[in-house]
Structures are given as structure tokens and as C-alpha cells.
Amino acid sequence: MGRPEPCVLFAQTFVHPHLDEYVDELNVTHSKWIFVARYCLLSPSSFTACEFLEQNVSFASQAVTLLGATSPPSFALEVFVQCEGETKFRRLCQPFLYSPSSSNVLEVEAVVTNHLVVRGSYRSLSLVIYGNTAEDLGQFNIEFDDSSITNLVSSAVGKLEDLPLALHSTNLTIEDSISALSTLSLPVVASDISVEAKQLLQLMLKNTNVMLGLSVALLLCSGRESCFHFVSGGGMEQLVQFFCRDEQISTATTLLLLGVVEQATQHSFGCEGFLGWWPREDENKLSGVSDGYSKLLNLLLQKQRHDVASCATYVLHRLRFYEVASRFECAVLSVLGGLLTVGMVTSDTLDMLICAKSQLKKLLKLINSRGPIEDPSPVARATKSLILGQTEGVLSYKASNNLITASNCCFSNWDIDLHLLALLKERGFLPLSVAILSSSILRSEVGRAMDVFVDIASSIGAILLSLLFCRSGLIFLLHHPELSATIIHALRGANNVNKDACLPLRYASVSISKGFFCAPQEVGMIVGTHLRVVNAIDRLLTASPNSEEFLWVLWELCALARSDCGRQALLALGYFPEAVKILIEALHSAKEQEPVAKNSGASPLNIAIFHSAAEIFEVIVSDSTASSLGSWIGHVMELHRALHSSSPGSNRKDAPTRLLEWIDAGVIYHKNGATGLVRYAAVLASGGDAHLTSTIPLVSDLADVENVIGDSSGGSDANVMENLGKFISDKSFDGVILRDSSVAQLTTAFRILAFISENSTVAATLYDEGVIAIIYAVLVNCRFMLERSSNSYDYLVDEGTECNSTSDLLLERNLQEQHRNTKLLNVLLRLHREVSPKLAACAADLSSPYPDSALGFGAICHLLVSALACWPVYGWTPGLFHSLLANVQVTSSLALGPKETCSLLCLLNDLFPEEGAWLWKNGMPLLSALRKLSVGTVLGPQKEREVNWYLHPVHLEKLLSQLMPHLDKVAQIIQHYAISALVVIQDMLRVFIIRIACQKAESCSILVRPIFSWILDHAYDFSSPSDVDAYKVYRYLDFLASLLEHPRAKALLLKEGVIQMLTRVLDRCLAATDTDRVEILDGRSSAKFGFGLLNWSLPVFKSFSLIFTSQASLHHAGENDLHTFENLSTEDCTIILKYLLRFFQVLPVGKELLACLTAFKELGYCSEGRRALAATFDCVSSVVDDREKDGNGNYSLPNDMNGERVPHCYVAAKTC
């Protein structure tokens, strides 16, 4: 009798609250599986296969209804079983990496069991088990009594410690997750010279000429011990004397002299010797004047050759670095000593805290100023633009690939000088930081001391984050694992941080650099995550390839990549080329056959390694910066060979398949250069498939990479651009929906083109190749797809950020001629109209601590504006502002829709410099923060400066002159939307007004006059206004009040007569207090005929408060240049005071009275207001003299005066 067909024994989804490592246990009966805390064995079953359902995939069988909900899309998984009579679990199959790409059906040898354990890192798991019950198979006929059941239950308890190491809990302590490195290390300092050689050199140093003497000194300073004796023997003073000589020193002598100083200052005693501190009389005091430092600075200020100037700069930077680190050390030691002695923060301790804070900020600048010193000469700049290897053409891979790593689209990944790190260690930066961060006294302080302590914690965090951007910084931290773990503890404190919501490194670093606060707990999590990655890389280098240990390390890296912070931490792999090479070798693992594999040519272990390595590589290749692209583009051919020859999976979108799509353009670039890449992108941009419509095939579909690409100059390829031109010139062309694979391929293609086009020669050549037509087609497609999308925009965000190539190419080409491409202008504007509303929606809902989508949309908008700025700056036609405002008629109703309005306001804001976002009194406007952070976070701070090219004063003058004729139309738009209830629209309006005011106050006046006119017209109209008109006046007044939250608005509005307008409105409010016409309901005014006019007083009082507040805060404006402000006079304050006192008598208790009291309080803070108060109360001194004291010596207040209520007036007077 044949064996029955396997049936479904179990189908269920296990759901957990968050992503973590879980163990799910299953027990089976003949009819169903039971997931319980304790188990009883009823009948064993035979398993033949397990299937895992990916998210939103339905189970194929009609008998079982199950919708897949497995999340995340890829994770490590292991299956164990316990067979009858065995006390331990044994592995059902090799560990593997679940991925929708690989076969989701796990074929296993038939095994009879009743107990199955699934262990992995997931949030939810949809699992289907196939097999037969024992009765079906007819192999068992067992009856169990109660005792046997009990015995079997006890044998199944608590044996999970036998699971493999990779499936043990990863919720480790910081100390357990960070360990010393075994392979990675910093370069070893050269060994010292022998004692005999030192003695000989010392003798030679005293009896030789200058060149020989300096040569001997250079040799002595090459070793630490001999350098110490050289410094102690007065050698640094002799070097300083050479600099102080009046006679001219030759270039060769100068270079040799600088070389000696450079060698000596690699050590702390050498720095102190040159700075004039050696030997120190008191370790906690720095004294002495460095003549050598001054002479070296003078040398640099003179016209020197680049090699001399760069060496002098290098030494000065190191000396300054050591000085700052030493002063920080002294300040912290002084603070800690004071706290230990007194037990509290005294004034002296506070001064030293402030000193420590200042030194930390200087230290951060010095660390971030690393990198090569460029030659500023015209010849050097011209040479830099030249491309070597032009025998193959400037667009060939060999000639242009170096431009990728030289691109500005990156973060500062230059290694920190190892000697600076050594000096930082010698001055005890890490232990001192731990000590000050861990101080319980400082943590419990309030006021000024707490503010300084928070600034210190923020600066220490910023320095630690800067160390994470380079190889040397990461290794430096892990060379001191105990200190690093301690400082992470000090940063995180006792509060638990949600590791899934931890901010990524780039966002945190840019936020701190822009003045935003990043919690120390976040910094601690970021540092810990990056150090875990480097620890894993170190273990990866020592693990045996294709071993379980190797797989465990890969799984750990994949697990870290589940969060935004972990994904960016994985990018540190690019700093370790040896690790990248090993990962590529791991991709070859799946093709290696093992005899134990029965159903495929590769073992499950190798397949798991293959998929894990592919998932890790996908994180790197999908990153938007040039540094990440540069880390793999040189290996793209080998990477492709490994993926194509080893991928045994299905046609699903698994990590290897997605990775092939990401690198496809890189293979084209490697073989055919940028010219072939242009043709390739042209086919994809037209909606085609490169391997079907061009002789440049989709290389991921072919096996032999070396022979897949033909001559890019072939006839059919030459027709590609012509066909694209015909395609986009068709009047009916409105875009096509690109396939997901095309989006990935175009993203990589445009990244390559954008990075290499920063070179002017390459940009000009690409322009001649017709790349603008491709950019146009892609922009149209992006706009088309965004227009038809719902809420899922993430897949387009990364592709859109590559629009910076448009700006780069337009700027570099034909600046002398006018670019009259109306179609390009229109498509840029249409794309902006699709993206900006999505940005506004994201800004209004910043529920996530890391607004990934909002940053992406913000970067796209900013890049589009950078390209659009070419039209007004260079006078191209059609005019940008004319195109934007052509449909707006001043004398008629507006013709702009919601998208057009949002796009217009967003674009106008981005065209002008920041207004001083930190000066807004009641919180920064929503989009201002995103604008400050978006481009820097997505593309790097250097690229942000390049994107902002149009903010140069010369260009700004042209922008403003082009906008001036259209300001009246913009004013109508502002008036129309100033009553909007949407906060984001209100924010864009007031930000634009302030930014224009910062450029030219006269121009800004045009923008607010329509609102002033409307308010005054209705304030002078004593007829009963309609509900709509009354509400509009209230909203306009409230808008002006929100505008006054920025101090720049005060000068503008005072010049326009805001005091006269506001007092006129108060007159109108007082007229409405006739008891026959006004009712008081629940503390709020409401007119019988509609919206209460007394409500108008609320935004008026708010405006007065803000005017008085900005008046008092002008002296504390800081670094922001607020120029000259219109000031309130004492007479203005006297008039306002009289209105306030009058409203004290008529306002009921409620929000209007509270606003009036607040305005009165703020008036008392400014000098003009105090003079007005003094003058006013002098006038009523006779009333004060008539006051009588009660028996307790207190003043009694009159109940009324002339029949009017006055208690509020007197209460306010006493509080003043």
C-alpha cells in the first residue's frame, strides 16, 4: 500500500509586539497543532516540508485560509525537533536566511516527532507544516497511559540551551556586545633607535652644519624615547631659534625644519615643547608663550610653495588640536576637583564648565577639518579638472571612475590623523568625558549650570559621532572597549531606549551641526550599534569561510540592518575593503557543491551565507552617497559574476535579484563607460527593457559578463538617443510607469552620472551626448508616477534625489548662452507640484523620530529649486516667476489650485536664505527644520553647500530683481491664504515674508499691505460686519501676530503703522462692548449679530506682547544680524498702556483678559514701557495718595471709580 500524500498539519501566523529574537514551540495531534505553554503528547506525526508565507501572499490551498504576514522580509531562522525517546532537541535542517526570493518551501527528510521549535529574529511568522499523522501512515499503534504522558512532558521541558550560538538571545549588555579587536588595528608606530645610535646622533647634532644637524634631529625624533630626550635636552628651543632667524631660509631647509617639528609633535612632550609648556611646573596649569607657533603662523601667512604651506598648516593644526585637548583636560579636572571638594557647582566651577564647553566646540571643529590640504593656485585648479587616460575618452570607466570618490556627495570619511588620536588618548579625552557625563551633581543641577552641562554632553556626543565616520575613529574607540562601553553607559543613563526607533548616524550628526538637540541616549545607541558592526567585521575577517561561525556573523549584521540606525552602521563596511572582498567571496559560496545536499547543487549553509551576504551588499549599493558607490563600483564585475553564477533562487524579488538590478548600471559603466550608460538610461527612461531594445543588454540576465556588451558605437545604439528624442517630442508624451527594476537601474545610473559630472569636462561631454533629454524623460516619468500614486512614495524618494545631476549639468554647460528649454522648465515645475504637497503632508505629521520620507521629499524639492534657479539667475527664458504666476490675476479671484499654491510657496521659500529659524519665539515653523536637515542628511553637508549655489549674494540680487515685478501678485496670494487654518500653509507664508524682509524691507512691505488695508477698512466701518468678514479680520490679525514671532517682522510692521492699525481695531472692539449688543458667554465674547468683535482684541494683545518681547530681546540677538529695527517710542507705549488699562475694566475673565495681562507684563520688561508706566502712574498719583490702609497695614482698593469696574487695573499696577 502506497504512502498517503502529505497534508497540511499546521497553518498559522505567530505575531509578536516588536522585532526581536523569539522561540515559538509547536505540538501536534492527529487533528491540529496546539501552541501552549505546556505540552502533552497524543500522537506523533511525520513531517515532510515547511512553508513560510511572505507578507500579503495567500496560501495556495483552498482548504486552508491563511494570508501571509511574515515580517521583516528577510531574517535568520532555525528549526529544531524533539523525537520520541530523546531528551534534547536536534536540528531539523541547516540554519537558513528566510527571504521571499529563495524557495519558501523547506524540504526536509521525513521525521517523526511531536514537538517542533522555531527560533529566529522576526516580528511575525506565517508557517505551514506538511506531513502525515502516525495513524495515516499506519506505522504506530501505541496507547499511552497517564504515567507515560507525564514522563514525556517532563522530558520536553527547558532544553533550549542546546540551540546553536547564533540562536541564543542577542539582548546582550554593552560590555558583552563590545569587545577588543583581534584583527583590525591602527598602524604601528615606528620602533625606537638603539642607545648607541642615539649617543652618536647627539654628538653629531652639536658639531655639524644646519642641514646635517636638522637631518640628525629628524632621525632622533623618529623614535619616541629618543625624541623625548631630544625635547628634554632643549631641542625644540633650537628649532624655534631657526624660525626666529632674520636671514632668508631656503625652501629645502624650511621643509626639513618642518619635518623635524612634525616628527616631534607626534608626541605630547613634543607639542608641549614647541608650545613653550615644557616642562610643566603644574600639571593643571598651562603657561608659557610659543614663539615657534607665532613664527610658524607668520611663515604660513607669507607666500609659500604649496608643499611648504601644507606642511606648516598640518603642524599648526596638530599643535592647535593638542592645545585645545589640553585645556579641556585642565578644565574638566578643575571641575571635578571643585565638585569633590565643595559638593556643588560654585561660580568658579561654572566658569570652568563654560571653559570646557568652549574647548569641546573648538575640538569638534578641528576634528571635522580633517582631509587633504588643496593647492589653491590657478594651475592646481586647472590640473584638477583634467582627466588622465583620455586615450579611451573622458567618459570611459578608467578615465572617470576616480571622480566618484572625489565627489562632494558624501560625508567626511577622511581618516583622522592617527597622531591626533594618540594625542587625544594621552590627554585622557575618553575617561574625562565619562567622568563629567557621569557626575551625579551636574546631572541634578538646574539653571545655567544645567544648560552648560547639556551643551557639554551634546558636544561630546558630536565628537563621538564624528569618530564613527572613518575607519581610524572606529578602531580607536574599539581599542579601548571598556572605556567605550563606559561612555555609552554614561550617555544612555538609566533610561531604556527603543533600539528600533534609534536615530541613524547621518541624521543625528547633521541635526547637531545645525543646532538641534540630539539626546545623549540616542548618541549612546548610535555609538553602540556602530561598534557592534565593527566588532562583527573583525570576527568576519577571522572566521573560516563557509562555516557556521561565518554565517552567525553575517546574521548578526543582517539583524542590525533591520533598523535605520543599523542600516547606516552597515555602511561602515565601505571603510574596510578587506571585509568587502570577503563578502564578495561569500557570494560565490552557493555554487560550491557538497555531497550532503540532495535536492540542489549547494548546501543549505552555503545558500544561507549567499543570501545573507547579498542582503548586506544591498544596503551598501542602495545608499545615495558617492562614498558608498565608490566602495563597490571597482568590484562590480566580480560582484556580478558571483551573483549570476551562484543564484539558485526563484524569480522572486529576493536580495540577490534586487542586488543584480542595483549593480546592473555599474556593469554597463565598467564596460562601456558613461557613454554606454547614457544609452542604457535612455532605453530605460523611455519605459523599455534594455536587453530587448538595445544591443546593451540587461546584464543581469546573461551568464558571461565579459562578452555581453558589444561596441557602444554600433548603429543601433546610435539610434537610441534619436528614438528617445522622437519619443519625448511627441505631444502626447506625458510619462510612463517605470518597472521597479528600471527604477533601481536608473537610480544607480544617475548616481554615477551625477557624481562624475561634478567635473566640468565630463559635464560638457555628457551634455553633448544628449543627457538632458534623458533627464527630461525621467523627470516626466517621476511626475507621472507620483501623480498616480496614493500614499506609497518611498520607492521614488531615492530615485528623485538624484535630480542634482540636472543642476550640475545645467550649471557646468553653456553658461554664456541662454538655455531656452521651456519643456524642461515645465517638467521641473510639474514635478515640484507633485512632491511639495507630499512634503507638506509629511511635515504636518512628524510622528516618527526619524522622518525618512519627509527628508527625502525635502531633498527633492530643494534640488529642484537648485535647478530652477538657473532661469532667473542667468536670465533664461521663459521666466521662472512669469511661469509660476501667469494664472494669477490681481484684479480677479485666484486661479491657483491647492497643489500649485503649495508648490509656489515652497519654491519661493527655498529660493531665499534662511531667516534665522532659531529666532521664532513660539517654535520653529514646520518646514524650516526639514529644509535645514534634508539635503545634508541625504547627500551630505558638502553637497548641501554646492546645491545652495544660488544663495550667493550676487545671485540673490538677481533673484530679487526678477521677483520684484510679480510681488503684487504674491501679495494677493498671501492675503488669500493668510486666513487658512492649515498650519503648514501659514508657516510657509510667514517664512517667505520674513525671508524677503531680510533681503529688502521695501519689497516686503508690498506683501503685507493688502492685509493692512483689509483690516483698516473693516475697523473704520461701524456697520455690523458679516460673520465671514468678522472672522477674516480675526484671522488676519492672528496671522500678523504669528508673523511678529520673528523679531525681523517688528521693523517691517512698525514701519507700516501697525501700532495705529491695532489701536484702531481696539477702538472698534470698545465700541462693541455696548451691553445692548454684546453677551458674555462662558468667558468668551459673542455678538448677537455673529462673530464677536471683542474677539479681535485677542490677536491684538498677542501682537503687543510680541512687539514688547522683541524690543527687550534685541540686545540678545546673537550672531544673527538683525540690522536696524524700528523702535517703539515712549509715546507709543503710553498709548498702548492706556488701551490696556481700559480693557482691564471691560474684559470678563477669559482668554482675552489673560492676553491683555500678558501684554501688560511684557510692556513692563522694556525700557520704553517702564517709562510709559511711570508717566501714566504719575498722573494718577493723587488717587494713590488718597488710598487708605486697613488695620493690617495693607492698602485697600476702591470698589469702583466713576461707576466703572477697576480691580483688574489695580492688580496689574501692583504686579508691575
CATH of the domain at 139: 2.60.120
878 in Cβ contact with 829 (< 8 Å): no
pLDDT band at 804 (very low <50, low <70, confident <90, very high): very low
Residue 217 in domain? yes
What pLDDT shows up at residue 782? 92
Q: How far apart are the first and last CA of the chain?
A: 103
Q: Which cell is 740 given?
A: 521597479
pLDDT tops 70 at residue 557: yes
pLDDT band at 1205 (very low <50, low <70, confident <90, very high): very low
What pLDDT shows up at residue 846? 61
pLDDT tops 90 at residue 667: yes
pLDDT tops 50 at residue 672: yes
**Residues 195 and 80 reside in one and the same domain:** no
pLDDT band at 795 (very low <50, low <70, confident <90, very high): very low
pLDDT band at 531 (very low <50, low <70, confident <90, very high): very high
CA dist., res. 619 & res. 607, Å (int): 19
Give the closest residue to 325 by CA, choosing from 273, 271, 262, 260.
271
- Per DSSP, the residues of 188-208 read PPPPPPPHHHHHHHHHHHHSS
Q: Which cell is 184 given?
A: 583590525
Cβ neighbours of residue 139 under 8 Å, at least 6 residues apart? 46, 112
CA dist., res. 809 & res. 293, Å (int): 45
**Residues 1077 and 1140 reside in one and the same domain:** yes
For cell 539653571, the residue is 447
pLDDT band at 1212 (very low <50, low <70, confident <90, very high): very low
What pLDDT shows up at residue 1087? 40
Amino acid at residue number 1204: E
486 in Cβ contact with 546 (< 8 Å): no
pLDDT band at 1080 (very low <50, low <70, confident <90, very high): very low
**Residues 130 and 238 reside in one and the same domain:** no
Q: Which cell is 459 given?
A: 558636544
Residue 1183 in domain? yes
What digits encode the pLDDT tens for the residues 974-1024? 999 999 888 889 999 999 999 999 998 888 899 999 999 999 999 988 788
Q: Which cell is 897 given?
A: 489650485
Classified as helix, coil or strand, 21 is: strand
By the 10 Å C-beta count (0-12 exposed, 13-18 middle, 19+ buried), 379 is classed as exposed
Question: Among the listed ranges 139-143, 277-281, 533-537, which one has the minimum average pLDDT value?
Answer: 139-143
What pLDDT shows up at residue 421? 94
Which of 283, 300, 317 marks a domain boundary?
A: 300
Question: Among the listed ranges 104-118, 917-931, 1097-1111, which one has the minimum average pLDDT value?
Answer: 104-118
How large is the average pLDDT for residues 55-84? Answer: 69
What pLDDT shows up at residue 1206? 42
Give the closest residue to 9 by CA, choosing from 132, 139, 134, 136.
132
pLDDT band at 815 (very low <50, low <70, confident <90, very high): very low
Establish how many alpha carbons lie within 13 A of residue 682's alpha carbon, considering only the half-sphere containing its beta carbon: 29
What pLDDT shows up at residue 79? 82
Give the closest residue to 388 by CA, choosing from 380, 396, 378.
396
873 in Cβ contact with 959 (< 8 Å): yes
How large is the average pLDDT for residues 63-79? Answer: 72
Residue 69 in domain? yes
For cell 521583516, the residue is 72
What digits encode the pLDDT tens for the residues 957-971? 999 999 999 999 999
What pLDDT shows up at residue 475? 95
264 in Cβ contact with 296 (< 8 Å): no
**Residues 142 and 291 reside in one and the same domain:** no
Which of 274, 300, 326 marks a domain boundary?
A: 300
Cβ neighbours of residue 238 under 8 Å, at least 6 residues apart? 217
CA dist., res. 133 & res. 111, Å (int): 11
**Residues 75 and 134 reside in one and the same domain:** yes
**Residues 149 and 203 reside in one and the same domain:** no
What pLDDT shows up at residue 650? 46
What pLDDT shows up at residue 717? 56
What pLDDT shows up at residue 190? 58
Question: Among the listed ranges 291-300, 829-838, 1070-1079, which one has the minimum average pLDDT value?
Answer: 1070-1079
Q: Which residue has the higher pLDDT, 894 or 333?
A: 333
**Residues 1065 and 1131 reside in one and the same domain:** yes
Question: Among the listed ranges 46-60, 810-824, 891-905, 1161-1175, which one has the minimum average pLDDT value?
Answer: 810-824
By the 10 Å C-beta count (0-12 exposed, 13-18 middle, 19+ buried), 157 is classed as exposed
What pLDDT shows up at residue 912? 95
Q: Which residue has the higher pLDDT, 811 or 579?
A: 579
pLDDT tops 90 at residue 693: no
CA dist., res. 57 & res. 653, Å (int): 13
Residue 1037 in domain? yes
H or E stretch covering 11: strand 7-28
Question: Among the listed ranges 572-576, 891-895, 1156-1160, which one has the minimum average pLDDT value?
Answer: 891-895
Residue 521 in domain? no
How large is the average pLDDT for residues 644-666? Answer: 77
Q: Which residue has the higher pLDDT, 25 or 804?
A: 25
What pLDDT shows up at residue 863? 95
**Residues 164 and 202 reside in one and the same domain:** no
**What secondary structure letter does DSSP report for 391?**
G
**127: which strand partners?**
12, 52
In terms of residue numbers, what domain contains 274?
Answer: 191-300
By the 10 Å C-beta count (0-12 exposed, 13-18 middle, 19+ buried), 77 is classed as buried
Domains: count for the chain: 3
What pLDDT shows up at residue 721? 73
What digits encode the pLDDT tens for the residues 613-628? 999 999 999 999 999 9
What pLDDT shows up at residue 121? 75
Residue 67 in domain? yes
Classified as helix, coil or strand, 107 is: strand
How large is the average pLDDT for residues 1131-1149? Answer: 90
Q: pLDDT > 90: what percent of the chain?
A: 40
Establish how many alpha carbons lie within 13 A of residue 48's alpha carbon, considering only the half-sphere containing its beta carbon: 13
**Residues 210 and 141 reside in one and the same domain:** no
What pLDDT shows up at residue 696? 40
What pLDDT shows up at residue 146? 37
| CA angle, 1144 then 1150 then 1153, to 5° | 25
**49: which strand partners?**
107, 130
pLDDT tops 70 at residue 594: no
**Residues 1136 and 1029 reside in one and the same domain:** yes
Q: Which residue has the higher pLDDT, 851 or 81?
A: 851
CA dist., res. 917 & res. 1052, Å (int): 18
CA dist., res. 411 & res. 186, Å (int): 22
H or E stretch covering 80: strand 75-82
CA dist., res. 941 & res. 934, Å (int): 10
What pLDDT shows up at residue 97? 66
Q: Which cell is 691 given?
A: 536587453
**Residues 17 and 156 reside in one and the same domain:** yes
pLDDT band at 207 (very low <50, low <70, confident <90, very high): confident
CA dist., res. 461 & res. 470, Å (int): 16
**Residues 1035 and 1109 reside in one and the same domain:** yes
What digits encode the pLDDT tens for the residues 599-611? 444 577 888 888 8
**98: which strand partners?**
75
pLDDT tops 80 at residue 398: yes
Give the closest residue to 525 by CA, choosing from 431, 469, 461.
461
CA dist., res. 786 & res. 769, Å (int): 28
CA dist., res. 121 & res. 72, Å (int): 9
Give the closest residue to 806 by CA, choosing from 856, 762, 771.
771
State the average pLDDT for the chain.
79
CA dist., res. 1133 & res. 1168, Å (int): 7
What pLDDT shows up at residue 895? 64
Q: pLDDT > 70: what percent of the chain?
A: 74
Rounded-to-10 torsion of CA 960, 965, 967, 970: -110
What pLDDT shows up at residue 1002? 85
Between strands 75-82 and 96-98, the pairing is antiparallel
pLDDT tops 60 at residue 799: no
pLDDT tops 70 at residue 1084: no
The gap from C-alpha 1168 to its chain's centroid, in whole angstroms, comes to: 45
How large is the average pLDDT for residues 680-705? Answer: 59
Residue 1172 in domain? yes
Question: Among the listed ranges 315-319, 591-595, 1042-1046, which one has the minimum average pLDDT value?
Answer: 591-595
pLDDT band at 810 (very low <50, low <70, confident <90, very high): very low
Which of 300, 320, 346 marks a domain boundary?
A: 300
CA dist., res. 91 & res. 114, Å (int): 14
Residue 504 in domain? no
